[in-house]
Amino acid sequence: MNSIFKERKDRLQVFKEYRERLTSKPKNRIENPSTWQCNKCQSEFPYQEIEKNFFVCPHCQHVHALTAIQRIDYLCDKDSFIETFHSVRRLKKSEFPGYEIKIKKLQETTQLSEAVLTGVARIGSYRAALCIMDNRFMMGSMGEVVGEKITRQIEYATRKKLPLIIFSCSGGARMQEGILSLVQMAKTSAALAKHDEEGLLYISYLTHPTTGGVSASFAMLGDIQLSEPQCLIGFAGKRVIQSTVNEKLPDDFQTAEFLEKKGFLDQIVERENMRSTLIQLLKIHERGKK
């Protein structure tokens, strides 16, 4: 029991150091860190104002990407997040030219070990297992480590009878890892089937963009499918589909708003309502409550 407790404390410490390193870096493109600029309409705002507005531009309403850590701060009860499976690594080095160097650089700039952060936390006092993808890390693409971390987190949720929430944002399967990326689709889906057999709740929360192999596996298997506004969600690109079916596709094709109209999404949730919506859903299902 003591060793488990110690391990948990260590993981919490790792995560805290992580966060400190991350928040010490400037989060915007402008040199003055107290100012923030929208990359859509170029308006400038005090950093604190945009932070209070959940990184949604007050001028053009563009929903800006959140890092995994920022999402945890907005979503979870204070200091309740404990990271899991931090030390998962690839079994073999990739032979793809320049790939290992790229990964190393990204680990330094993002302070993440890979494109997903997994852990357990309390949300409005309800316990939940979380997977949060971060698109700064190779567009949130899914390789061996991402698939393995997500699978282990799903299995953890099944063992502990916890509700699961996965925030997806991904360019799809990571081509540099070839077939090992593609098997992650079947692996994560199989783990979710077991979670489902136990009658546990899985909320899939889509963010911009969710495409390719991720949208074709765990991201679309939620008991409840939520999305942020203005997201691109789809499998193949619009141009590819258009030339295959030889038909003009609607302007809003593959947007969250279009998918909601067609019944693929249950609800588009404004970012300011993310926490309250999830608390409400967890409350209804109760399973995570201690």
Residues near Zn ion (CB under 5 A)? 38, 40-41, 57, 59-60, 62
* Calpha distance 13→1 (Å, rounded): 18
Question: DSSP character for 138?
Answer: G
- Rank residues 66 and 185 by Cβ distance to Zn ion and give the closer one: 66
Residue 118 CB, shortest distance to Zn ion, in Å, is 32
* Calpha distance 74→80 (Å, rounded): 12
- Rank residues 27 and 152 by Cβ distance to Zn ion and give the closer one: 27
Peptide bond into 209 cis (omega under 30): yes
Map tokens 């061996």 to a residue: 144
- Rank residues 39 and 109 by Cβ distance to Zn ion and give the closer one: 39
Q: What angle do CA 75, 282, 221 make, to 5 degrees?
A: 90
Residue 107 CB, shortest distance to Zn ion, in Å, is 30
Map tokens 């998962």 to a residue: 88
* Calpha distance 163→166 (Å, rounded): 10
Map tokens 């593959």 to a residue: 254
Residue 27 CB, shortest distance to Zn ion, in Å, is 16
Residue 43 token pair: 């308006």
Residue 192 CB, shortest distance to Zn ion, in Å, is 36
Residues 230, 40: contact at Cβ < 8 Å? no
- Rank residues 230 and 277 by Cβ distance to Zn ion and give the closer one: 230
Q: Is 248 left (phi over 0), alpha (psi -120 to 50) or beta?
A: beta
Residue 231 CB, shortest distance to Zn ion, in Å, is 17
Residue 50 CB, shortest distance to Zn ion, in Å, is 10
**How far apart, in Å, are the Cα atoms of 24 and each of 42, 109, 136, 274?**
24, 12, 17, 26
- Rank residues 21 and 40 by Cβ distance to Zn ion and give the closer one: 40
Map tokens 């860190």 to a residue: 33
- Rank residues 64 and 127 by Cβ distance to Zn ion and give the closer one: 64
- Rank residues 59 and 289 by Cβ distance to Zn ion and give the closer one: 59
The enclosing H or E element of 199 equals none
Residue 194 CB, shortest distance to Zn ion, in Å, is 43
Residue 216 CB, shortest distance to Zn ion, in Å, is 32
Q: What is the pairing mode between strands 202-210 and 224-227? A: parallel
- Rank residues 6 and 40 by Cβ distance to Zn ion and give the closer one: 40
SS3 at position 202: strand
